[in-house]
């Protein structure tokens, strides 16, 4: 994601977060993610939003129809109208991602992802989650997946930080050092 797009996303995500009261957060996150999937599902849709030859009335109609179908909250629909009016619909996925990050911060939650070369035992996952919670002081929402391309070890991703302890990464660094 380009710097400019991140700045745009932050601007709109901040505005949405200010409109949302605490108990609405998860509902808005879910609705925004559904809306993003519906409005940007294909390359054609992404092109549609960015095409200046498409009359604004057609774009507004599509947004209105999809929002109605998904029963989107009026506040969220209003924000999407502003995004559309400012010709930023292509940034909607980044806005949703940034909103989700900001909401997590507000709720004291850290989303982390661990990829492992082999399946991790439940006890190992619990221990890793406990360690992360102790180190960060936040509630950790940990997703775990298997990735055999890592060869051995694991990769931990938290927000914008990646800790790569995989054998594949070590071999790659070794090859680079020999080059």
What confidence tens digit (pLDDT) does each residue in 28-67 have? 999 999 999 999 988 898 899 999 999 999 999 999 999 9
- What are 49-59's pLDDT values in tens digits? 999 999 999 99
Residues 100 and 162 in one domain: no
Backbone φ and ψ for 116, nearest 5 degrees, come out as: -125, 145
- pLDDT per residue as tens digits for the range 82-92: 999 999 998 99
Residues 100 and 155 occupy one common structural domain: no
Taking only the tens place, the pLDDT of each residue in 73-126 is 999 999 999 999 999 998 999 999 999 989 998 999 999 999 998 999 999 999
One domain, residues 17 and 79: yes
Total domain count, the chain: 2
Tell whether 114 and 97 lie within a shared domain: no
The CATH number for 72's domain is 1.10.520.20
The CATH number linked to 135 is: 3.40.30
Domain that holds residue 47: 3-105
Rounded CA separation 130/125 (Å):
9
């Amino acid at each position: 994601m380009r710097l400019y797009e991140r700045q745009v996303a932050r601007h709109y995500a901040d505005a949405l977060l200010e409109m949302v009261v605490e108990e609405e957060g998860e509902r808005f996150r879910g609705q925004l993610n559904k809306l993003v999937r519906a409005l940007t599902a294909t390359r054609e849709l992404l092109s549609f939003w960015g095409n200046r030859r498409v009359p604004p009335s057609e774009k507004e109609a599509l947004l209105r129809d999809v929002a109605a179908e998904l029963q989107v909250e009026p506040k969220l629909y209003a924000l999407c109208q502003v995004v559309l009016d400012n010709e930023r619909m292509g940034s909607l996925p980044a806005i949703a991602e940034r909103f989700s990050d900001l909401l997590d911060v507000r709720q004291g939650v850290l989303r982390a992802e661990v990829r492992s070369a082999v399946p991790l035992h439940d006890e190992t996952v619990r221990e890793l989650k406990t360690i992360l919670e102790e180190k960060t002081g936040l509630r950790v929402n940990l997703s775990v997946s298997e990735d055999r391309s890592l060869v051995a070890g694991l990769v931990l991703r938290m927000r914008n930080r990646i800790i790569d302890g995989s054998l594949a990464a070590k071999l790659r660094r070794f090859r680079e050092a020999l080059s």
